[in-house]
Amino acid sequence: MRVPKFLIHSLAFAVLGWPSNANGRDVDYASLPPCDSSVNGGVTESGISGESTSSCPMTPTDNGGTASNVSVKIVDCGPTSYEGSPLPPRDAVCALVHPVCDVPTAGQVPDPPTYNYVVITTYPGGREIKRPECGVTPAQARPQVTPEMARAEAEKLLPHPQIGTAPAGGVSLVNIETVLWVDTKPDLTLGTVTLLGYRVTLRAHLERVEWSFGDQASATTSGPGKAYTKTNPCKTAECPDYFGHVYRQTGHLTIGAQLTWTGEFQVDGGAWQEIAGTVTAPATGRPIHIREARGVLVDNP
């Protein structure tokens, strides 16, 4: 017996928790749950950017979720097909999406194809499956790379450089300046990544470095500092041409540096745009042993 399509539609909503008044043929992103705002669509020129997951920038919800424990996944249910056609291997929810979204006969399949997807929101203790979107064309819903997406990629790509010290060897003395720098250039090209089907190039500028010297003292510089070289030696207790710190007590300490970067991104060779906010990345901590040296007179040196 053939089950009417509208009945399958209603059963799917009942089983999966979709709103009973959902319109599978209209793309209305404003009506999607607040959690979906960080997903930015999900359809590219080659289909749906399925299996993408994003944390939700939201306050606690009725489901008990917060920004840190709620995620959204867009499941690609493939192009619109006709009822009864073989389904590609996909998420199990697509088995219910196709009876809702497919057209009655093979002759009614759209050309060029349209696509179907479903939004799954995962909360603590379970998941909630939202209504499907049927017959979406790439032109209707191709997502855009946002400054927030670019910032997230920059955070992954920024280096964690080494901290340089002079004297070398991880040993210095009290009452002289220990010269410090971070082994990175202030301007970096982070490379090109693919986001939502676009080629996105990222670059970063070092805004500041916040130093912790291990003896409860700290300082902030506007750049990485200058690496010590023998061609520009320091022959005094303090080194005016360099950045550093004077230790007053001996001990085994660890020097830390937190780097704050601003950045820009470029989509498919277009104009440069600023990423959202700043990105911090720590340098690799540097152990140092501070010693005390005393002059001693000896016979016939």
Q: Please provide the DSSP assignment of 87-117 as one string.
A: PPS--TTHHHHHHHH-BSSGGGS-SS--EEE
Distance, CA of 94 to CA of 84 (rounded, Å): 13
- Sequence-distant (≥ 6) Cβ neighbours of residue 110 within 8 angstroms: 80, 103, 135
Confidence of residue 298 (pLDDT cuts 50, 70, 90): low
Confidence at residue 112, expressed as pLDDT on a 0 to 100 scale: 79
Count H helices and E strands in the chain, helices first.
Answer: 4, 17
Provide mean pLDDT across the span 32-53. Answer: 37
The reported pTM is: 0.55
Distance, CA of 215 to CA of 112 (rounded, Å): 67
Confidence at residue 86, expressed as pLDDT on a 0 to 100 scale: 72
Average pLDDT, the chain: 75
Q: How many Cβ atoms sit within 10 Å of the Cβ of residue 289?
A: 12
Q: How many Cβ atoms sit within 10 Å of the Cβ of residue 83?
A: 16
pLDDT tens for each residue of 165-190: 999 999 999 999 999 999 999 999 99
Tell me how far CA of residue 215 lies from CA of 40, 254, 272, in angstroms.
Answer: 47, 9, 42
Of 70-74, 277-281, 284-288, the poorest mean pLDDT is in: 70-74
Asked whether the predicted pLDDT for residue 27 surpasses 50, the reply is no
Asked whether the predicted pLDDT for residue 24 surpasses 90, the reply is no
Confidence at residue 47, expressed as pLDDT on a 0 to 100 scale: 39
Asked whether the predicted pLDDT for residue 133 surpasses 50, the reply is yes
CATH 3.90.1150.10 fits 147-291, yes or no: no
How far from the centroid of its chain's Cα atoms is residue 64's Cα?
24
Q: To the nearest whole percent, how much of the chain has pLDDT over 70?
A: 65
Distance, CA of 123 to CA of 98 (rounded, Å): 25
Asked whether the predicted pLDDT for residue 19 surpasses 80, the reply is no
**C-beta separation of 264 from 207 below 8 A:** no
**Domain ranges for the chain:** 5-141, 147-291
204 φ, ψ to 5°?
-140, 150
Q: How many Cβ atoms sit within 10 Å of the Cβ of residue 53?
A: 12
Confidence at residue 73, expressed as pLDDT on a 0 to 100 scale: 66
The upper half-sphere exposure of residue 131, i.e. CA atoms within 13 Å in the direction of its Cβ, equals 19
Asked whether the predicted pLDDT for residue 300 surpasses 80, the reply is no
Bridge partners of 165, per DSSP, are: 180
**Structure-token match 């799917």, residue found:** 12
Tell me how far CA of residue 178 lies from CA of 120, 187, 232, 235, 241, in angstroms.
Answer: 55, 25, 15, 12, 12
pLDDT tens for each residue of 48-98: 343 333 333 333 334 443 434 556 666 777 788 887 777 665 557 777 777
